[in-house]
Structure formats: structure tokens, C-alpha cells
């Protein structure tokens, strides 16, 4: 829509994608946030159509208000959630930095008495204050080991189990140094980029940035001071990730930021058009690779290599070959930290100075290395012998994690998963290897009344974060995720990790499991293994120095499985029918939109439901709808019918081989299944050592489907 207003031309741009409306403000045409549009000097229009100026406005909707004088047209300015989030980050960072002298001297903190276990690490009082407020009373082992070395200026390669506090192991030394030096910054000067933290996924980068930010914000007290407007933080942290407005992220960078947490892809995009940023990276004080091994898997190799190239020393004298064992401390101030839960021992050994190949940034230039080893060996550690701290447990097994497995046909995985989710309510993170699998499972869970959220790379970034938040705030829910959720994500209280499809590698198994049993909390993982996946599982565990038989099996109530199978089959039938309809509608909608965009008319035959042989007639439509409705009614009936555990008398709660009255009275019963005690999944596992070969047929629990898979079944012995 265009509006001509007193010699100027205004264009009202409607929003192209539907966005969630958070805030609307109404006004007249003149009060809208018009922006000037640059015009080519020669428009080719005689007299320029009498237009003196062109202006346009975004995100405006026309609304009608009923008033006494009739219907009045108004304009509504719509602001969406993402704009707001980005605006608030931007506002926080856009404030002029206070003159250094305006920052009050940090008040000393009595670490000796309040945090005795941290006292030996000389940290900035602000960091002590936040550690105390968070009740992080002792450093975790990796923090205790890494802090003295990192604080002394050395490079660190840290390997420690998932959820063991690696972020602060590198984060605290960085923040300490930046906080200590920030007050010496010349007044009103731009914040120089001090630290670059590279992370493999957007979620992880955002999480690291908010984890570190929490250590920079003042702790609000009930004093009058807390009513005062907060000064901008002495040290600022910002995240640069794909899927969010690149322009706004560029603006943040232009204003200056102390710590940048980024995914390599988006960062390299920005560096390519911003020489200033490349220059700043050359002068970094800290470089961190968090979950470096995953960055290679995520296909960030080329960008990562380009970024790392900027951190190499240029002067010949500074090259690695000039270093000697006698000069262990960094020479130009850059400290490098590499952290992960999985770095092979070989790689750790190679990272030691004496076996690292000499690399001057030109050798092999343009030829990307193909493995993590190659990449890490290209890091220009200033430290001639970076300290390697390897606290990874034997077999990468976290002590508070209980593992288990279920062996079943891949076609039975849905039923077993459903059984598990009903039997062990809690927060369950279910890993699948492909997005298609998530798309198939999601509607099934919905039909079966299981609260599930998807997380995969084809969702919009905003949706990904929203789903993560929903999962975090819903105690009894499921996150159906691909391996983008396998690394680093710190979601409090994930009770179960379920490998619906087996992980691609031993590292992926370790990292997926690492989403539970974090920070010394209990956790549980379950591997669902189909017969044709067993060989891979064996190899995968073998590379961790473990055997398949070390992992106990879930003890499954087989009578319940049969009851659940009927529900799952119905849900699948409904979903298959829905899917067909959705697909046909989607194709028709697409055709219509394409035709409109191209301004062509489409043959009515193509759009009509009745004239094409392949398309259902109205009568078929009706028949299909009524079949679907009856399937849904049947499912509703099944879902309403109580599930009864084996050995439970449905007539008399005090009899049967398993009387339920005591559990009912004690309130210790599973709400979804009659006759089942509330237990934790970890209590229902059994370690079965290798079974002896026998000719006795094994019991097939869920009627096997003849799909060529070898059935090994779950033993009922």
C-alpha cells in the first residue's frame, strides 16, 4: 500500500512473515516510524511523478476501531519478540561506557570466611560475590585444576566429563583479567575485544554468553542503591550467532564488546565484510575453543580455520620454531584455552609442544585440514607447552549416571519409548539421528497426550530457543532433538536421555549422555538398540574400552507393552491419514501461491478436488473424515482406559499377586498405570551377562513385524 502525503511518497510495507505480536501502539500516519528511502538519481520517470521524497515504514498493520462517529482506521506498529530481545541486548551495550573513573572501586570480598574453598584463587571481588550468591561454594575439579594455570597466564587444554563446570574453568580467568584491567581503560574509549569464545552451536553460544553475563551483572541487594539505574557493565559479553539479525549484531560489534561468544559460521560472515573485526581478533587476549571436536562435525571447519588463521603470529621471530622450553609463558599476551569432554589421548599428546608441526600460516595454505587433530595442531599456542588437564573418567563414564539399554526391533521403538515415558515421568531428552524422525514422532506424541517439543536445525532460531525454554520449564515433558542438542547444553534437571536412534560415534554417545547427570546430580540414559544396530553399538562401546554387556537392560513390564501397542498403532493410523491430507493441501497451497506470485492462472482442474482421478472426490473426503473421526474416538477411548500392570487384580485392590492398596494409601503410585509403584528408571535395570546359546525360541514381546531384522527380543527369564 502506498500513501502520498504532501509531495512525498510513503510506502506501507506489510510484514512478509507472520510474527508473534508482543506490543502494538496505535497512532496516525504521521506518527509512524517512517524511514527515508534512498532513490537512484535517475528514476526514469518524468518529473519523478511529482514526488519530492520517498519514505517507508515496516511492521505496520491497519486496524479498525468502532467509535461513536463510526468506524475509524488506525495504524498499529507491531514489535516482535526477537526485535525486543535484540533491542534490549543492544540497549544494554549501546550505553556510553562510563568514564573509567566513574566505576566505583570494587568492594573487597571476604573470601577467606565466605568462600574458603575458593580463597586460594585470587579472583576479582565481583566474581567471588556472584559465586557466593549462586552458592557455588567450591570449585569443581576441572575448575580447581585449571584456574591456577590459566590465572598464571598459561595455555590450557582441559578435558573433563560433561556437566563438570568447564565454562567457568575458562570463563573465570578471562573475566578476572578483563575486570581487573577494565578500570584502567582510558575514559570513553571503545571497548577493545578481549576474548573470543567459539562454540559449535547457536544454543551453546547463547548459553555460554548468558552464563558469563550472570557473573558481570551486579547482585541486587535490598539497599537503596539497587533502585538506582544500573551502570553499563564494566565488562560486556555478547553472542554472535546465525539465525538472528546480522545487522544488529554488527552494530553491537561497532560499539565495542569485551567478550564475544560466537559460532564460527556467522562470525566469519561478519569478519569478511569488516576488516576492523579481523584487526581486533589479531589483538585478542584470550581465544577459547569450546567443544572443539563438535565444531568439525558441524561443518564449520573452513570458517574455523580462517578465524584461527587471524590469531597466528606474523613476525618470524615469534613463530613456534623460535620458542624454546625455557620460555614457557606467552609472548604477545594471547592465551588459548581448548575445552571438551572428549579429546583423544593421542591428540592431547600431540598438542604438546615437541610433537606439534611447525605451522606458519602459509604452509598448506588454502588446503583445509580434514580432522580435528589437524585443526588443533594449527593453533598457535603461545605457550611452548600448553598444560593438558585430563580429568575424563575411565570409559567416559560419569559417576552419577546410570546407563541402560533396550533391545527391540526398530518398528517397536515407538511403543517402548511410549512405555518408558509413561512409566518414568520426568524431563526426557530423546535423541534421533534425523529430522524426519522427529517430524514423524512429534504428532504421535501429541495424539498420545505426551507433551513434546522439537529441536533441530530446520526450525527458526527463535522457535528453537522457545522450545528449549518450554522444555526447561515443563517438569514432565520431552524434547525430541537431533545432535544439535548433544553438546554443552546445560538444562537443569534432565532426568533421562534416550537414544531413540543410536549415536553416530562414541563421542556423541558421551555428549548426549552428558545432558543428564550434570554437576554431580543423578541422571539416567537409555540406549534403544535394534538388532541391526548391535554391531555398531559394540564397536562404539569398544572404543570407550567397554563392552555391550556392561550396560544393564531395562526391566520392562510386557503386559503393559501389549496394551500400549494398540494405542500406538491407532495413533500411527491417524497420523498417516492426516499426513496424506496435509501433504495434498500443502501442494495445492503451494501451487496457488506460486501462480499468484507469477501472475498466471492455473487450470481449474489442477485445483479442484473432484475432477482429478488421483484426488479424492467429495464423497471420498467425507468417508475419510469420518474414518479419521472414528479412529480418533477409538484412541480417546483407549487413552481413557486405565493401564493395568501385571499381577494386579482390577476387582479387588487388596488381592492379586500385587496388591496396590498400600501404594495407593502411601501416594507412591504411578498416575498413568494402575499397580505400578513410583520408581526411578535407574531402579528398574538388570545386568544380564552374555546369554548361553540355546535353541529355545526367544519370547517376542511385541508381535514381530517381518522386515528382515533378526529378532533377539527382550528376555523374560
Ligand X SMILES: Nc1ncnc2c1ncn2[C@@H]1O[C@H](COP(=O)(O)OP(=O)(O)OP(=O)(O)O)[C@@H](O)[C@H]1O
Binding residues for ligand X, rule: CB under 6 A, are 136, 139-140, 143, 162-168, 341, 488, 490, 514, 518-519
**In degrees rounded to 5, what are phi and psi of residue 595?**
-65, -40
Q: Which residues pair with 478 in a beta bridge?
A: 428, 452
CB-nearer residue toward ligand X: 490 or 663: 490
Shortest reach from residue 379's CB to ligand X, in Å: 20
- Closer to ligand X by CB, 174 or 450: give it: 174
**What pairs with residue 335 in β-bridges?**
286
Length, in residues, of the chain: 717
Q: Which helix (H) or strand (E) holds 657?
A: none
Closest C-alpha among 192, 298, 206 to residue 244: 206
CB of 325 to ligand X, least distance (A): 31
370 CB-near residues (< 8 Å, 6+ apart)? 301
Cell numbers placing 478: 520431552
Write out the DSSP string of 208-255.
Answer: HHHHHHTTTSPPP-SSGGGGSPPPPPSS-EEEE-TTS-HHHHHHHHHH
C-alpha cell of residue 353 = 609442544
Closer residue to ligand X in complex, CB, 304/444: 304
Query: What is the closest distance, in whole angstroms, from the C-beta atom of residue 279 to ligand X in the complex?
Result: 30
For ligand X, the closer of residues 280 and 336 by Cβ is 336
Instruction: Give the residue with the Cβ less far from ligand X, 159 or 408.
Output: 159
Which 8-state DSSP code applies to residue 198?
E
Q: Which residue lies nearer to ligand X by CB, 163 or 437? A: 163
End-to-end Cα distance, the chain? 74
CB 628 → ligand X: shortest distance, Å? Answer: 43
The least CB distance from residue 372 to ligand X, in Å, is 16
Shortest CB 333 distance to ligand X, Å: 25
Rounded-to-integer distance, Cα 238 and Cα 93, Å: 9
* Nearer to ligand X among residue 82 and residue 392 (C-beta): 392
Query: What stretch of H or E contains 82?
Result: helix 81-94
The number of angstroms, rounded, from the C-alpha of 583 to the middle of its chain's C-alpha atoms is 29
Residues paired with residue 404 on neighbouring β-strands, in sequence order: 526
236 bridge partner residues: none
CB 393 to ligand X: min, Å: 13
Least distance (Å) between residue 364 CB and ligand X: 31
Residue 676: alpha-carbon gap to chain centroid: 34
Task: In whole angstroms, give the CA distance from residue 296 to residue 252.
Answer: 27
Least CB distance from residue 654 to ligand X, whole Å?
46
Q: CB-wise, 280 or 428, nearer to ligand X?
A: 428
Residue with Cβ nearer ligand X (236 or 342): 342
Q: Smallest distance from the beta carbon of 508 to ligand X, in angstroms? A: 13
Q: How far is CA 429 from CA 398, 454, 541, 654, in A?
A: 17, 10, 21, 37
Closer of 205 and 430 to ligand X (Cβ):
205
Q: 319: closest CA among 262, 369, 290, 361?
A: 361
Q: How far is the CB of 521 from ligand X (least distance, A)?
A: 9
As a whole number of angstroms, the distance between CA 443 and CA 635 comes to 14
Nearer to ligand X, 336 or 392 (CB): 392
> Any bridge partners for residue 337, and if so which?
156, 288
The answer to whether residues 56 and 10 touch, using CB atoms and an 8 Å cutoff, is yes
Q: Which helix (H) or strand (E) holds 686?
A: strand 685-686
Amino acid at each position: 500500500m502506498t500513501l502520498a502525503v504532501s509531495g512525498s511518497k510513503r510506502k506501507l510495507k506489510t510484514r512478509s512473515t507472520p510474527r508473534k505480536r508482543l506490543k502494538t501502539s496505535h497512532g496516525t500516519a504521521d506518527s509512524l516510524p517512517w524511514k527515508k528511502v534512498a532513490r537512484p538519481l535517475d528514476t526514469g520517470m518524468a518529473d519523478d511523478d511529482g514526488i519530492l521524497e520517498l519514505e517507508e515504514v515496516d511492521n505496520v498493520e491497519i486496524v479498525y476501531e468502532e467509535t461513536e462517529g463510526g468506524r475509524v482506521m488506525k495504524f498499529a506498529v507491531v514489535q516482535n519478540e526477537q526485535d525486543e530481545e535484540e533491542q534490549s541486548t543492544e540497549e544494554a551495550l549501546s550505553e556510553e561506557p562510563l568514564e573509567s573513573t566513574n566505576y566505583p572501586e570494587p568492594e573487597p570480598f571476604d573470601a577467606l570466611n565466605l568462600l574458603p574453598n575458593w580463597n586460594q584463587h585470587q579472583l576479582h571481588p565481583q566474581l567471588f560475590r556472584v559465586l557466593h550468591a549462586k552458592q557455588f561454594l567450591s570449585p569443581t575439579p576441572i575448575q580447581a585444576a585449571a584456574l591456577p594455570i590459566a590465572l598464571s597466564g598459561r595455555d590450557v587444554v582441559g578435558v573433563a566429563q560433561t556437566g563438570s563446570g568447564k565454562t567457568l574453568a575458562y570463563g573465570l580467568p578471562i573475566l578476572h583479567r578483563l575486570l581487573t584491567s577494565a578500570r584502567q581503560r582510558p575514559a570513553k574509549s571503545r571497548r577493545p575485544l578481549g576474548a573470543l569464545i567459539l562454540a559449535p552451536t547457536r544454543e551453546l553460544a547463547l548459553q555460554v554468553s548468558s552464563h558469563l553475563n550472570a557473573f558481570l551483572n551486579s547482585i541486587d541487594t535490598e539497599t537503596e542503591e539497587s533502585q538506582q539505574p544500573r551502570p553499563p557493565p564494566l565488562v560486556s559479553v555478547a553472542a554472535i550467532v546465525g539465525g538472528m539479525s546480522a545487522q544488529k549484531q554488527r552494530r553491537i560489534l561497532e560499539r565495542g564488546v569485551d567478550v564475544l561468544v560466537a559460532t564460527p559460521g556467522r562470525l566469519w560472515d561478519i569478519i569478511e565484510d569488516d576488516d576492523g573485526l579481523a584487526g581486533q581478533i589479531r589483538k585478542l587476549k584470550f581465544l577459547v575453543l569450546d567443544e572443539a571436536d563438535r565444531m568439525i562435525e558441524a561443518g564449520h571447519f573452513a570458517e574455523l580455520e580462517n578465524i584461527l588463521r587471524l590469531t597466528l603470529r606474523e613476525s618470524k621471530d615469534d613463530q613456534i620454531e623460535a620458542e624454546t622450553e625455557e620460555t614457557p609463558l606467552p609472548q604477545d599476551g594471547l592465551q588459548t584455552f581448548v575445552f571438551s569432554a572428549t579429546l583423544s589421548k593421542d591428540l592431547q599428546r600431540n598438542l604438546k609442544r615437541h610433537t606439534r608441526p611447525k605451522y606458519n600460516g602459509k604452509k598448506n595454505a588454502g588446503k583445509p585440514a580434514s580432522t580435528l587433530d589437524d585443526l588443533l595442531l594449527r593453533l598457535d599456542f603461545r605457550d611452548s607447552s600448553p598444560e593438558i588437564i585430563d580429568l575424563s573418567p575411565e570409559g567416559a563414564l560419569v559417576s552419577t549416571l546410570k546407563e541402560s539399554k533396550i533391545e527391540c526391533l526398530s518398528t517397536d521403538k515407538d511403543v517402548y519409548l511410549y512405555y518408558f515415558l509413561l512409566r518414568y515421568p520426568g524431563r526426557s531428552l530423546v535423541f534421533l539421528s534425523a529430522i524426519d524422525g522427529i517430524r514423524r514422532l512429534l504428532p504421535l506424541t501429541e495424539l498420545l497426550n505426551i507433551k513434546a517439543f522439537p529441536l533441530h536445525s530446520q526450525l527458526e532460531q527463535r522457535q528453537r530457543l522457545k522450545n528449549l525454554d518450554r522444555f526447561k520449564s515443563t517438569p514432565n515433558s520431552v524434547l525430541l532433538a537431533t545432535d544439535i542438542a548433544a553438546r554443552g547444553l546445560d538444562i537443569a534437571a534432565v532426568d533421562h536421555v534416550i537414544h531413540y536412534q543410536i549415536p553416530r560415534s562414541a563421542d556423541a554417545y558421551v555428549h548426549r549422555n552428558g545432558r543428564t547427570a550434570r554437576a554431580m546430580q543423578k541422571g539416567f540414559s537409555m540406549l534403544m538398540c535394534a538388532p541391526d544396530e548391535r554391531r555398531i553399538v559394540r564397536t562404539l562401546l569398544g572404543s570407550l574400552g567397554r563392552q555391550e554387556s556392561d550396560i544393564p537392560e531395562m526391566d520392562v513390564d510386557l503386559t503393559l507393552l501389549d496394551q500400549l501397542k494398540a494405542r500406538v498403532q491407532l495413533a500411527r493410523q491417524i497420523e498417516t491419514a492426516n499426513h496424506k491430507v496435509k501433504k495434498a493441501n500443502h501442494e495445492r497451497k503451494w501451487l496457488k501461491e506460486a501462480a499468484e506470485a507469477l501472475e498466471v492462472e492455473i487450470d481449474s482442474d489442477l485445483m479442484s478436488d473432484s475432477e482429478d482421478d488421483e484426488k479424492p472426490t467429495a464423497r471420498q473426503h467425507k468417508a475419510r473424515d469420518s474414518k479419521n473421526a472414528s479412529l480418533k474416538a477409538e484412541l480417546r477411548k483407549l487413552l481413557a482406559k486405565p493401564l493395568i500392570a501385571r499381577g494386579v487384580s482390577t476387582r479387588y485392590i487388596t488381592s492379586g499377586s500385587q496388591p496396590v492398596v498400600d501404594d495407593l494409601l502411601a501416594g507412591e503410585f504411578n498416575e498413568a498405570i494402575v499397580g505400578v509403584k513410583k520408581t526411578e528408571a535407574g531402579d528398574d535395570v538388570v545386568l544380564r551377562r552374555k546369554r548361553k546359546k540355546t535353541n529355545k525360541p526367544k519370547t517376542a514381546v511385541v508381535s514381530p513385524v517381518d522386515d528382515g531384522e533378526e529378532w533377539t527380543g527382550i528376555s523374560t527369564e
